[in-house]
Structure 1
Amino acid sequence: MLIEIRPSLDPELAALITAQQRELVESGVLAGRIFEPDDDVEYLVGVVNGRGVACAAWQAHGPGAAELRRMYVRPAFRGRGLARQMIVAIEEEALAADRPLLRVELESGLAAAIALYQSSGYRQVTPIAPGRVRFEKRLPALVQ
């Protein structure tokens, strides 16, 4: 999989995020929020055979920290390690921007996503709200 940085208004990115939101609404996890692109977020798209099949983003979140957002892999491409590749790419981008602490907030009903983050070294911190959980990971410093 090739991972590319894409602008917030990229059509393939928009299609991926729309598919993610549709899936979350249909599963009852999300109550119909609408994607609004942010200019202060860096978006990555995973491309297989010229087609965007995965996305993720990160956003600065306080001094030395970043929030991982918009993680999604099209259902037909799941189970191939693409989500883990996207996490690693986000971690590398955040670390290069001197943001060694990564956070991710999830709906507590997303068992597969929770398992993915836990197996990627993220630890759960104090719950933030009913039905939502937060995970954090401190990344090792880059060796120069």
Structure 2
Amino acid sequence: MNSLYPQESNQLLSIEELKKDNVHFIGVVKDKNILGCGAIVNKHNDDIYGELKRIYVKEAYRGQGIPKTILNVLIDHAKKQKLPLIRLEAGIKQPEALSLYKKIGFQERNEFGSYQYDPLSIYMELKI
């Protein structure tokens, strides 16, 4: 992300934030190697929803369906938590991710929560 966007456009969570009780963080591991990861954060600010964060797959493992697997696990978690919505912020320089989100059913929307307009960002939402 740091190679694609300026620091002020990166909306990454710190390791400390990922350890909080309202975060469900998962990793995909094969032969003791982490292939990818993702998280969903339960939010209760401007609405009740889960926010997808840190969806990432190492370059060598892309094209194998790992991002879709991560998303499906996180969506299932949101359903179990009875969250009515899942929202996300993604960068405009990530066409593969944006395409996957749209295929799963995410629709574009305006900024949400503490996000301010950023021309490098796209905001999306999935009703579950």
Q: TM-score, normalised by structure 1?
A: 0.71
For residues 2-81 of structure 1, what are the structure 2 equivalents within 5 Å? 24-26=1-3, 28-31=4-7, 36-37=14-15, 38=17, 39=20, 40-62=22-44, 63-81=47-65
Aligned match of 1:111 = 95
Consecutive aligned runs of 4 or more in structure 1 exceeding 4 Å deviation: 32-35
Residues of 1 paired with 2:103 and 2:91: CA distance?
17
Cα distance in 1 for residues equivalent to 2:61 and 2:43: 30
Q: How much has 1:50 moved relative to structure 2?
A: 2.7
- TM-score (ref. length: structure 2): 0.80
Which structure's relative contact order is higher, taking Cα pairs within 8 Å and 6+ residues apart? 2
Distance 1:115 1:78, change over 3 A: same
CA contact (8 A) 1:123 1:137 kept: yes
Deviations 1:78-108 (A, max 9, x none): 0000000000000011111111310011122
**Identical counterparts, % of pairs:** 21
Give secondary structure in 2 for the equivalent of 1:119.
Answer: helix
Unaligned runs of 5+ in 2: none
Instruction: Tell me the C-alpha RMSD between the 2 structures.
Output: 2.0
1:67–1:35 CA distance, 2 compared to 1 (3 A): closer
